[in-house]
Amino acid sequence: MNSLGIIDYGAGNLSSVCNSFKAVGVEGKLVRTEDDLAGLTHLVLPGVGAFGDCSRALAAQGLAEPIRRWTQEDKPFLGICIGYQILFESSEESPGAAGLGILKGHVRRFASTELKIPHMGWNTVHPTTPGDTIWAGLGDAPHFYYVHSYYPEPEDSSIIAATSTYGCTYAAAVRRGRLIATQFHPEKSQVTGLRLLQNFLQLSLP
């Protein structure tokens, strides 16, 4: 049986994330302190808001280091939107704010173009390895829902699990072992998003 934790740092899109996991049969437990991690098998870091605010909140709640340990131990982890970006070292959105540094790289803002910023709405996602179990049942070019003005630029391109294009082609998702993180919002992506959450829950502990 999976025991799912959803990190609550005061700004995540918790209701949508919790309801989406309920829709696939799993009740998530809100994680606000390190003690709340006891007994969990899967951990989700959702995100709405700014990089710097997320960094400060995780540090204030004593969760930054436990999250690092969780990913170092290769336990199933899903980061969503800001919960994806905060895994990197820094962001142009919040100069001087340190990310978790779990993944090498930086978060960039979309360059000024004729396209509307933030990027908001549905977009095609192109898995780099369509046969990966995280994309099971989703086809070669699923559509997911986005709301963002920034995107991570991983130093190690081998961890890029999928790309999208909006003015430029960027890393829409990464995977390193049992760590999965997405710029798009599975919890806002209807049937496609629910299937990805199910696939995440299929990841077993090391």
What is the model's pLDDT at position 12?
A: 63
What is the model's pLDDT at position 190?
A: 97
Break the chain down into helix, strand, coil percent, rounded to 5: 30, 30, 45
What is the model's pLDDT at position 1?
A: 65
In CATH terms, is domain 4-201 a member of 3.40.50.880? yes
Q: What angle do CA 49, 31, 177 make, to 5 degrees?
A: 80
List the chain residues with pLDDT less than 50. none
What is the model's pLDDT at position 90?
A: 97
> Tokens 């190690």 — which residue?
156
For residue 165, the cross-strand partners are 169
Residue range 2-28, pLDDT digits in tens:
799 999 998 767 899 999 999 999 999
What is the model's pLDDT at position 40?
A: 97
Active site residues: 81, 185, 187
Q: Is the pTM of this model over 0.85?
A: yes
Task: Please report how many Cα atoms fall inside a 13 Å half-sphere around the Cα of residue 152, on the Cβ side.
Answer: 36
Strands of 90-91's sheet, edge to edge?
90-91, 105-109, 150-154
Residue range 141-152, pLDDT digits in tens:
999 999 999 999
CA distances to 21, 37, 173, 196 from 76, in Å: 15, 13, 15, 13
